[in-house]
Amino acid sequence: MRFAPHLTHLAALSSSCLGQSFGFHVVQPLQGDQNSRVDDMNQDGRRSVGASYTLNGSILDIGVDGVRTAVPAPPNYAITSLISGDGAYVAGSIFDSSVQDRYPARRLGTQIEILTTAYKGEATAINGDGSVIGPFAKFPFGGMGLSRKVAYRWTPVSGVQFIVDPFTSSLFHSDITGMSSDGSVMCGQGEDFNFGGVAFRWTAAQGVQRLPVPVGVTEASAEGISSDGQVIVGSTYGSGMVRHIMWTPDGMVDMGRTFGSDEHPFAVSLSGIAVMCGSQPSSGTAAIWSAQTGRVDLDDYLRGFGLDVPSDWVLWSCRNISDDGLTFAGTAVLPDGTNRGFIATVPAPVSFSLFFVAFGCTSLRRRRS
């Protein structure tokens, strides 16, 4: 879906009328590296984490304007990171050479804390202030070095709390993919012996609850949750078709369907805008979805608000959106095949009255000319 040219003009006009600052900011690699990327962004969009890399990688703390700072870290610290809603904590994993595997960890500034050494694994979700983290534990099975993921909830006070019984649950695999700001609601996905892939919502009161799916669906996945825990986005699979779903307190919302694509929605703002993308540059351009616009390619959406997005860049990854739906973070591929992280902020929506005033003034000037 593409914006009409007059909408682009009006979006830029409304921004200048309100004096809002916005833009498309590039996260440059560190000297000697050829690539950069953005992994996660906090709730207000003012801080992100990512990496600068060629062969090896350096962890980056990133501001809303794309300015990055390299973070000193021990060797083999995982550069794939999550950031808390307030931007204070970063979670990931750290490599232990004595066991040749990773343990879940969180970072405050340059101080790294291993969450537990009882279970190998990685952190896959973090709450608003970094006090609740959702990692998975690796449980061996079947010999030959095979393992399965079992999700748990971690806090400094309670430690490890498995959300399903590692030995009796029908969920063979389980993985937490998102968490509300207060840590009381989580979403995730699992592998069921009988059904296949399932999407779930977890609360302390009700435990794991499988999310409803349309008739004929054989598998489902939940990929992201709003910071208030009310809305979950994900995908369902059946008959060779991928259907994007938004689960809300009022029921399921069909966000559209794709055939033969690995595009999935990964995050949703409090304003109901979801971001979706594939797993690699060949997947194509990332997109946004809202009930008002439907699916719109992200580069078209940003340009519609007057942002200067290079025409030969492919914004292939965007898994992060701020609570207000105005800031997006992701990674683009350049014509030479290298990657660049980006932070993009669009102006806040204007009211209908201001919008029509702007439109009227523009029309009047055109008639007079």
Tens of pLDDT, residue by residue over 200-214, are 999 999 999 999 998
Task: Write the DSSP assignment of 337-354 as a string of letters.
Answer: S-EEEEEEEPPPPPPHHH
Other Cβ atoms within 10 Å of 359 Cβ, number? 15
Q: What share of the chain is helix, strand, coil (3-state, %, to 5)?
A: 10, 50, 40
Q: How confident is the model at residue 255 (pLDDT cuts 50, 70, 90)?
A: very high
Angle at 123 between CA 117 and CA 124, to 5 degrees: 155
Residue 77 DSSP label = B
Angle at 365 between CA 360 and CA 369, to 5 degrees: 150
Q: Is pLDDT at 243 greater than 70 in this prediction?
A: yes
Mean pLDDT of the chain: 85
Average pLDDT of 150-163? 97
Residue type, 13: L
Residue type, 10: L
Q: Is residue 75 part of a domain?
A: yes
Q: Is residue 270 part of a domain?
A: yes
Percentage of the chain modeled with pLDDT above 70 = 84
Q: Is residue 45 part of a domain?
A: no
Contact status, residue 210 vs residue 189, Cβ threshold 8 Å: no
Angle at 106 between CA 103 and CA 107, to 5 degrees: 130
pLDDT attached to residue 239: 77
Q: Is residue 166 part of a domain?
A: yes
Domain enclosing residue 150, as ranges? 66-295
pLDDT attached to residue 85: 97
Q: How confident is the model at residue 56 (pLDDT cuts 50, 70, 90)?
A: low
256-307: per-residue pLDDT in tens?
987 656 899 999 999 999 999 998 888 889 999 999 999 999 999 999 999 9
pLDDT attached to residue 109: 87
3-state SS, residue 223: strand
Q: Is residue 267 part of a domain?
A: yes
**CA 47 to CA 39: how far, in whole Å?**
11
Q: CATH number of the domain at 250, please.
A: 2.120.10.30
**CA 297 to CA 295: how far, in whole Å?**
7
Q: Is pLDDT at 129 greater than 90 in this prediction?
A: yes
3-state SS, residue 10: helix
Q: Is residue 20 part of a domain?
A: no
Contact status, residue 192 vs residue 170, Cβ threshold 8 Å: yes
Please provide residue 250's backbone torsions phi and psi, each rounded to the nearest 5 degrees: -95, 0
Q: How many domains does the chain have?
A: 1
pLDDT attached to residue 260: 59
Q: Is pLDDT at 6 greater than 90 in this prediction?
A: no
Contact status, residue 88 vs residue 106, Cβ threshold 8 Å: no
Range picked from 12-16, 179-183, 255-259 for highest mean pLDDT: 179-183
Q: Is residue 308 part of a domain?
A: no
**For 47, how many CA atoms within 13 A lie in the half-sphere containing its CB?**
16
**CA 221 to CA 71: how far, in whole Å?**
33
- The radius of gyration computed from the CA coordinates of the chain, to the nearest angstrom, equals 21
Task: Write the DSSP assignment of 96-123 as a string of letters.
Answer: ETTTTEEEEEEEETTEEEE--SSS-EEE
3-state SS, residue 287: strand
Q: Is residue 369 part of a domain?
A: no
